[in-house]
């Protein structure tokens, strides 16, 4: 475990006169930043720090974190293990394996981070939104302090410096060491140096420990000119281990892989979605709900975009909304909850600071026409019980089962064609074919076998009895190459396969 030092309780603050006056903080008192002429900080502690200090192979960290730009600062667990050094883009980087536990979703991936500052410079696409949160919260102080001792304005920052830099916005305040504090968090009790600045009249805090790679705690606020500032990000170190030699995430199963194995296909709202605009039953606000796909499959993720607005002005956002998305039964005129999007993520309900929501829900329940409710519990700051603005409205969605169930509403009503399902590894074959590394006959016979044995699922296609020609058009091969590089969706590649079947070049038994 890293050392818990900082046995000091004195610090210096600069007054308007510029003189330094010692002051004593109680160990449990959180320092507050000054503003304007008294915003300079600096403490009497002989040391310096930067994100990544003493970071080494085998370190393991687990944080609970959130950011305003990801689901309105909804908490998730972000665990990462420092695996090894790698060469990426002709530069030496550090490879970090990542596990995200986001409600009921588990995401595994990796990221490469720099040596001068442990900021992500690439990695697996599936952790992109979480990688962005890590960069904008846990390693945010690398904007001011880095390992680079040669570049002017960078390098490790001394705790005695009056300022580490300035927030890069209009009226931005100085970021400074403002005091010391002993804190107790989930991973232990630590003597910390507190880095702080003013945000909309409230002090934002980041707690660091000298010689430890990352801050152990933070609570920061969005810079606003009026009203109560919303949380920008917060995090807390839950666990830390050294000398971990094996990947600690091997026994976790990625939720996205589970969905892919179940035949789920990622569909954006723009491709196949539905829009609803309604007032709540109490007329407290107007809500726009967009969801997709229009006929979602049970066991697959459903995408939601929700906008809360004032009832008399559709251009005026309604913020600080406590809400949930529910599946309900209506019995004798009363609404009874059967499933909750928030509960399925292990949360009591959701909260939106901005009134603009983008989230996903892994659907459960029974197939057929089901009633959903957009439930608004009211309007108030995040941790304050709302006293006004409550209301709801309902709407119906036709749910599809993962496997069609006889005598269900789904089998009795018309449905869209089956969604194509193509394992990702087939992209390699398509790319090799497009590059001429596989001849036409080998590629066609291989795809033909995969379709016949249900490895690839495509919509039913009428077959020609005789091709008349075995020539494959260039556009099909071009499509295969573009698809292998992720430039066109699955449907475009599937259309080429359907053309080969309908023209008798590919025979499916």
The pLDDT tens digits for 276-304 are: 999 999 999 999 999 988 888 888 888 89
CA atoms within 13 A of residue 190's CA, in its CB half-sphere = 23
Q: How far apart are CA 302 and CA 323, in angstroms?
A: 17
The yes-or-no verdict on residue 20 having pLDDT over 90 is no
Local confidence band at 409 (pLDDT 50, 70, 90 cut-offs) = very low
CA 380, distance to chain mean position in Å, is: 24
Q: How far apart are CA 83 and CA 7, in angstroms?
A: 33
What lies within 8 Å, CB to CB, of 90 at 6+ separation is: none
CB neighbour class for 176 (10 Å; exposed up to 12, middle 13-18, buried from 19): buried
172 or 224: which leads in pLDDT: 224
Mean pLDDT of the 56-74 span: 93
- pLDDT tens digit string along 111-156? 999 999 999 998 998 899 999 999 999 999 999 999 986 766 678 9
The lowest-confidence range among 167-171, 243-247, 254-258, 373-377 is 167-171
Q: How far apart are CA 194 and CA 209, in angstroms?
A: 9
Q: How far apart are CA 161 and CA 375, in angstroms?
A: 50
Q: 125 is written with which tokens? A: 């696409």
448 SS3 class: helix
The yes-or-no verdict on residue 364 having pLDDT over 90 is no
135 or 501: which leads in pLDDT: 135
The yes-or-no verdict on residue 404 having pLDDT over 90 is no
3-state secondary structure 401-442: CCCCCCCCHHHHCCCCCCCCECCCCHHHHHHHHHCCCCCHHH
The lowest-confidence range among 243-257, 384-398, 435-449 is 435-449
449 SS3 class: helix
Q: 39 is written with which tokens? A: 């915003």
Output the pTM of the full model: 0.68
- pLDDT tens digit string along 79-116? 999 999 998 878 899 999 999 999 888 999 999 999 99
Confidence (pLDDT) at 411: 43
CB atoms within 10 A of CB 69: 14
Q: How far apart are CA 235 and CA 239, in angstroms?
A: 12
Question: Which helix (DSSP H) or strand (DSSP E) does residue 483 occupy?
Answer: helix 474-484
Q: How far apart are CA 309 and CA 276, in angstroms?
A: 14
Q: 65 is written with which tokens? A: 């974190």
The H helix count followed by the E strand count for the chain is 8, 25
The yes-or-no verdict on residue 199 having pLDDT over 80 is no
Residue 195 per-residue DSSP state: E
Mean pLDDT of the 301-329 span: 87
What's the Cα-to-Cα distance from 439 to each of 121, 211, 434, 435, 477, rounded to whole Å? 37, 58, 9, 10, 11
CATH fourth-level superfamily of 262-412: Macroglobulin (MG2) domain (2.60.40.1930)
Mean pLDDT of the 7-21 span: 30
Mean pLDDT of the 41-60 span: 93
Confidence (pLDDT) at 466: 57
Confidence (pLDDT) at 59: 98
The terminus-to-terminus CA distance of the chain in angstroms comes to 63
The lowest-confidence range among 133-137, 192-196, 244-248, 341-345 is 341-345
Local confidence band at 167 (pLDDT 50, 70, 90 cut-offs) = confident
Q: 456 is written with which tokens? A: 């690839």
Mean pLDDT of the 335-364 span: 87
The yes-or-no verdict on residue 419 having pLDDT over 80 is no
Q: Give me the residue spans of the domains in the chain.
A: 10-52+154-239, 262-412, 426-502
451 SS3 class: helix
Instruction: Give the highest mean pLDDT range of 130-139, 152-161, 477-486.
Output: 130-139
Q: How far apart are CA 495 and CA 509, in angstroms?
A: 19
DSSP string, 22-68: EEE--TTPPP----GGG-----S-S-EE-TTTT--TT-EEEEEEEET
Residue 400 per-residue DSSP state: B
Local confidence band at 198 (pLDDT 50, 70, 90 cut-offs) = confident
Q: 68 is written with which tokens? A: 């305003």
Q: How far apart are CA 58 and CA 48, in angstroms?
A: 24
The lowest-confidence range among 232-236, 246-250, 364-368, 412-416 is 412-416
CB of 218 closer than 8 Å to CB of 206: yes
DSSP string, 487-506: SS-HHHHHHHHHHHHHTTSS
Find tokens 């569909």 and name the residue.
Answer: 267
Cβ burial 1-14 (10 Å sphere, 16+ → b, else e): ebeeebeeeebbbb
Q: How far apart are CA 443 and CA 430, in angstroms?
A: 8
Helix ranges (H only) for 333-377 are 341-344
Confidence (pLDDT) at 395: 93
The lowest-confidence range among 25-39, 94-108, 159-173, 220-234 is 25-39
Mean pLDDT of the 48-63 span: 97
Find tokens 């903080």 and name the residue.
Answer: 25
CB of 316 closer than 8 Å to CB of 310: yes
262 or 400: which leads in pLDDT: 400
Phi and psi dihedrals of 107, rounded to 5? Answer: -130, 130
Confidence (pLDDT) at 54: 96
- pLDDT tens digit string along 333-348? 677 889 999 998 888 8
Mean pLDDT score of the chain, rounded to an integer? 81
Residue 415 per-residue DSSP state: -
Confidence (pLDDT) at 270: 66
Q: How far apart are CA 381 and CA 372, in angstroms?
A: 26
Q: How far apart are CA 21 and CA 497, in angstroms?
A: 78
Is the link from the previous residue into 293 a cis peptide, with omega within 30 of 0? yes
139 or 360: which leads in pLDDT: 139
Q: Is the dihedral of CA 449, 453, 457, 462 positive or negative?
A: positive
Mean pLDDT of the 433-438 span: 81
CB of 338 closer than 8 Å to CB of 327: yes
The lowest-confidence range among 141-150, 419-428, 462-471 is 462-471
Confidence (pLDDT) at 40: 63
Confidence (pLDDT) at 418: 52
């Amino acid at each position: 475990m890293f050392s818990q030092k900082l046995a000091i309780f004195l610090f210096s603050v600069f007054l308007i006169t510029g003189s330094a006056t010692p002051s004593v903080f109680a160990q449990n008192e959180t320092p507050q930043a000054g503003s304007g002429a008294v915003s300079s900080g600096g403490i009497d502690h002989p040391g310096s720090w930067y994100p990544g200090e003493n970071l080494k192979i085998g370190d393991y960290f687990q944080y609970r974190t959130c950011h305003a730009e990801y689901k309105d600062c909804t908490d998730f667990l972000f665990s990462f293990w420092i695996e090894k050094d790698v060469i990426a883009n002709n530069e030496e980087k550090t490879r970090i394996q990542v596990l995200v536990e986001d409600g009921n979703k588990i995401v595994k991936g990796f990221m490469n981070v720099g040596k001068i500052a442990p900021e992500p410079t690439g990695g697996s696409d599936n952790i992109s939104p979480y990688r962005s949160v890590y960069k904008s919260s846990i390693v945010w102080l690398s904007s001011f302090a880095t390992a680079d001792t040669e570049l002017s304005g960078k390098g490790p920052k001394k705790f005695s410096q009056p300022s580490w830099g300035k927030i890069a916005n209009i009226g931005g305040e100085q970021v400074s060491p403002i005091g010391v504090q002993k804190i107790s968090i989930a991973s232990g009790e630590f003597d910390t140096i507190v880095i702080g600045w003013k945000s909309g009249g409230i002090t934002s805090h980041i707690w660091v420990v000298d010689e430890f790679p990352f801050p152990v705690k933070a609570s920061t606020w969005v810079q606003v000119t009026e009203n109560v500032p919303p949380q920008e990000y917060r995090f807390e170190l839950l666990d830390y281990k050294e000398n971990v030699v094996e990947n600690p995430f091997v026994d976790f199963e990625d939720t996205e892989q589970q969905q892919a194995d179940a035949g789920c296909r990622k569909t954006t709202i723009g491709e196949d979605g539905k829009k609803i605009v309604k007032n709540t039953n109490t007329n407290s606000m107007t809500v726009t709900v967009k969801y997709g796909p229009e006929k979602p499959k049970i066991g697959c993720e459903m995408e939601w975009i929700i906008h809360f607005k004032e009832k008399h002005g559709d251009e005026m956002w309604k913020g600080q909304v406590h809400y949930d998305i529910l599946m309900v039964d209506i019995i004798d005129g009363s609404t009874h909850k059967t499933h909750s999007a928030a509960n399925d993520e292990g949360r009591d309900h959701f909260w939106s600071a901005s009134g603009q929501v983008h989230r996903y829900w892994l659907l459960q329940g029974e197939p057929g026409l089901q009633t959903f409710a957009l439930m608004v519990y009211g309007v108030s700051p995040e941790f304050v019980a709302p006293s006004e603005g409550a209301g709801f409205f309902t709407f119906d969605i036709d749910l599809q089962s993962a496997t069609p169930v006889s005598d269900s509403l789904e089998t009795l009503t018309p449905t869209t064609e089956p969604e194509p399902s193509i394992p990702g590894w087939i992209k390699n074959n398509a790319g090799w074919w497009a590059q001429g590394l596989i001849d036409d006959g080998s590629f066609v016979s291989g795809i033909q076998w995969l379709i016949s044995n249900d490895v690839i699922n495509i919509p039913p296609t009428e077959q020609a009895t005789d091709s008349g020609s075995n020539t494959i058009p260039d556009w099909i091969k071009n499509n295969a190459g573009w698809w292998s590089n992720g430039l066109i969706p699955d449907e475009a590649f599937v259309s080429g396969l359907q053309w080969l079947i309908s023209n008798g070049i590919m025979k499916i038994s």
